[in-house]
Structure 1
Amino acid sequence: MSDEISVHLLGPHNAHLLAGSDVFDSSVDPKQLAAFLAAPGHQMVFATIGARTVGFASGTVLLHPDKQPAFFINEVGVSENMRRRGIATSLCELLLKTARDSGCQSIWLATEADNIEARALYKRLNARETSGVVVYDWDGVK
């Protein structure tokens, strides 16, 4: 098996490559995958080595009547044994480009204060870290 890492924009033609991957919190649900693909503004990029998916990043275009489109990066994940190879950087670069190409004027995300690896990744990508923000959630969202 080749160790070459390939990065892809998710679409109907390659969505089958996500099946059986260990990069998500749970197994890929075919109905949820179809809904994700059908929903305008939802974007995902993923990385493969051969036929194995080893990482992904996803986000959503946010629309408001008084602002230009913004993009929220929902999640970035790489298989534990594949980290520190530049996969997350490549995924985020493609996701950022995809967001910009779709007209988004701003891009943002949130991560836990103790997630040192994620914070280092976003700093490498020239993101501006803010402070003084309080995050609220409902229903134990992870």
Structure 2
Amino acid sequence: MDDIEYIEVGKGDLPRLLDAPADLFDNPVIPEEAEAFLADPANVIVLAMEGGRAVAFASGTFLRHPDKPVSLFINEVGTLEGHRRRGHASAVTRRLFEIARERGAEGVWLGTEMENAPARALYRSLGGVEQISALYGWDEAFGP
């Protein structure tokens, strides 16, 4: 594997997110949102850094509920186009698993689109059990 460092990004690491390549995330990083994400201890993000540049990431949010143990919801996993198929997505996701265990989570889960074959293959390779569910969204109804 390349000379990559996998790091958990914390409150003082906002510049790392702001300096991330524009195509690493789905959308450009919004400084205020990135700062709020890093400030909230329920959130976690791991970056794969190569030469001081983020090339992959996985982020998650710890969830609590009155009748369930803590779990980690993986928000997103992403890798720059030129760095795919090198094990970076697996490594950042495994690091999220380690962090979840360290923080007492008893489960990890996520959702992805049925047509996202690469993501589904990644999650199966990490031991994930595919469960079919309905997913609902209200993004349009909540517009700006």
Q: What's the TM-score once normalised by structure 2's chain length?
A: 0.89
Asked if residue 125 in structure 1 is aligned to residue 143 in structure 2, the reply is no
Residues in 1 aligned to 2:97 and 2:106: alpha-carbon distance in whole angstroms? 11
- Is contact 2:11–2:39 with CA below 8 Å preserved after alignment? no
Asked if residue 114 in structure 1 is aligned to residue 128 in structure 2, the reply is no
Report the Cα offset of residue 33 of structure 1.
1.6
Output the aligned Cα RMSD: 1.5
Which residue does 2:54 correspond to in 1?
53
- Is contact 2:71–2:105 with CA below 8 Å preserved after alignment? yes
Residues in 2 aligned to 1:40 and 1:51: alpha-carbon distance in whole angstroms? 24
- Which has the larger displacement, 68-77 or 16-25? 16-25
Which residue does 1:6 correspond to in 2?
5
Which residue does 1:17 correspond to in 2?
16
Using the aligned pairs only, state the percent identity.
43
Residues in 2 aligned to 1:85 and 1:122: alpha-carbon distance in whole angstroms? 15
- Is contact 2:47–2:92 with CA below 8 Å preserved after alignment? yes
Which residue does 1:137 correspond to in 2?
137
Residues in 1 aligned to 2:58 and 2:138: alpha-carbon distance in whole angstroms? 23
Q: What's the TM-score once normalised by structure 1's chain length?
A: 0.90
Report the Cα offset of residue 4 of structure 1.
1.2
Structure 1 runs of 4+ with >4 Å offset: none
Residues in 1 aligned to 2:59 and 2:97: alpha-carbon distance in whole angstroms? 10
Report the Cα offset of residue 82 of structure 1.
0.7
- Please state whether the residue corresponding to 2:49 is helix, strand or coil: strand
1:42-121 equivalence runs, <5 A: 42-121=43-122
List runs of 5+ in structure 2 lacking aligned partners. Answer: none
- Please state whether the residue corresponding to 2:45 is helix, strand or coil: strand
- Please state whether the residue corresponding to 2:11 is helix, strand or coil: coil
